[in-house]
Chains A and B, each alone.
Chain A
Amino acid sequence: MTKKILILLFILIPINANALIEVDITRGNLNPLPLAVSPLSIDEESRKGFEKKLKKENIGSEISKIIENNLRTSGLFNPLDKKAFLQAPDIANLKPRFEDWNLIKAQALITGKVNYVDDKLRVEFRLWDVLAAKEMMALAFTTVPNNWRRVGHIISDKVYERLTGEKGYFDTRIIYVSEEGPKTQRIKKLAIMDQDGANNKFLTLGNELVLTPRFNPASQMVTYLSYFKNLPRVYLLDIETGTQEVVGDFPGMTFAPRFSPDGKKIIMSFAKDGKSDIYTMDLENRIVEKITNHPSIDTSPSYSPDGKYITFNSDRSGYQQIYVMKNDGSDVKRISFGNGLYGTPVWSPRGDLIAFTKLHKGKFYIGVMRTDGSGERLLTENYYQEAPSWSPNGRVLIFYRETKTNSKGEGFSAKLWSIDLTGYNERQIKTPTDASDPSWSSLLSN
């Protein structure tokens, strides 16, 4: 659906390359950049038009709230309280009074306006460097009004990119497993939502157990495990059309699916006679290839972003550890050598790191290591957590965390959390139900 909605983007004025503000995202940011998001200005006629169409009283301030929320949750920015603003939203038609913004200690300022033109939503926005009194960027978008939230996300991505030098991750979605009911009879459904938790939608009804949905990095396809008719198999789901199909024709359980970086193959495990090996299936010609051949459990495979390598976990050493091999299954090397068990390796989209789950002395950790296993860094420790998934820019990990039940079996919950690669900015992502197995989409627009 989203793919078909065209977002037109114009650059109003060439970007000023010599701005002063720069946000370093490679370290934990304890002093987020103070910035002001002025509510996008809107004329009365446009306001009424959108109110009728979208049932939102003021779409300009709604969009600015999305931007503020995105920038705040990134942990890199501190959007200032609007009550302190001295200049009104009609600023969009004028030059900002920089001394006023300086006074409230804003270092950057976002201004803009919204118009209702020919049944379309037109948004203009500008990013200002307050201290240098300079414009840093100016863009305009035209899209269908229903896309208003995405406009907020795209503006957030542009601001993030301009100020950090790296692509953003706000115009993205999360697919996950929604969980309800008692632990012994959990009802699980596939669900999808915007990265900020908005537009939550259930994709399956909960009639059968579903697990581990993962996005195709190249399209809006999803692969997941379903127990349809009590046969655990890997499925492919087109979330735009709702059509689904079984992947391959295996005489037993297939599981742990993921796409190749180009989206053309699915890599997964097939379990037979007590051993699990890794297979790929080409989605165009349906050719199945066996990648590992070992009496151990080989599972949770994940490709490197160039597609040349695969990381996976195996208990061939006796316990679950992380390995890397070439994409044809040759040259298998163990890379995890720390204390404890290591699982769910996921290659960063930047290529330099592998995120994992570690179990050591009864605690679960989410961590990262370099692709040769060096530089292990544990980001978060808890009673139970697993299944990290990378933001498309490789700066944030989303995972799920479960709480302990008491002696009466009460108190169990499963929730989605995110944490920066730096180990800072840990946050819960609110979902309407309990949730697990998150997977982050690519940027919807580029």
Chain B
Amino acid sequence: MRLNKILKNTLLVLTACLVLSACATKKEVATDIQGQMQGDVYTGTDTVEYLADGVPDRVFFATNESILTTASRETLRAQAAWLRKNPNINVVLEGHADERGTREYNLALGERRANAAKDYLMTYGISSDRITVLSYGKERPVDSGSNPLAWSKNRRSVTVKAN
């Protein structure tokens, strides 16, 4: 009986260990991409270009989303500061989607993403006259891969100098 109980407990402990180690493995995989993704939002710098020193040109989005992440807002505040210092520069916000959606919906989604960036720039004092929005939908990926990391790089709004 007693032995049985001990055995049972051991089993329980063993099972717990198994569950934990499974968790650990999963976490490791997540950390692996983590340098570059959080949730499914790209956080790396592979494709990023700079409008000026410390002013990244693009922000990234989650699948089907147009919500700005904390990092995106930081990037856009830097862009707004740079635009305030350079009042003669106008910009085009190019909105993009990944390849995992229908073409027409993605055109609308790209427009919505670029507008999310535009709205944020406007709240930081940039006149809408200086901003043009242009959606490319899924037509101009930066990464041609068919995997979650590539898709995350492609879900973006890029601020491009218009003049």
Contacts and interface: CB of A to CB of B under 8 A. Distances in A.
B104 A274 contact: no
A357 B102 contact: yes
Nearest to B133: A252
Contact of B140 (A184, A319, A383, A402): A184
Interface in B82-105: 99-105
B107 A256 contact: yes
A261 interface: no
B147 interface: yes
Contacts of B99: 384, 402
A92 to B, nearest CB: 49
Nearest to A185: B140
Contacts of B100: 359, 362, 384
B66 interface: yes
Interface string A241-279: 000000000001101100000000000010101111000
A211 B103 contact: yes
B145 A407 contact: yes
Interface stretch (B34-42, B71-79, B110-118): B110-118
Contact of A313 (B105, B111, B112, B145): B105
B145 A409 contact: yes
B115 A273 contact: yes
B50 to A, nearest CB: 20
B13 interface: no
Nearest to B135: A253
A383 B135 CA distance: 25
A313 B100 CA distance: 16
Contacts of A359: 100-102
Given A184-B140, A211-B103, A359-B101, A274 B146 contact: no
A184 B144 contact: yes
Contacts of A230: 134
Given A274-B116, A276-B111, A405-B145, A297 B105 contact: yes
A183 B150 CA distance: 12
Interface hub of B100, B107, B109 (most chain A Cβ within 10 A): B107
B103 A232 contact: no
Interface of B: 64, 66, 99-105, 107-109, 111-112, 115-116, 119, 133-136, 139-147
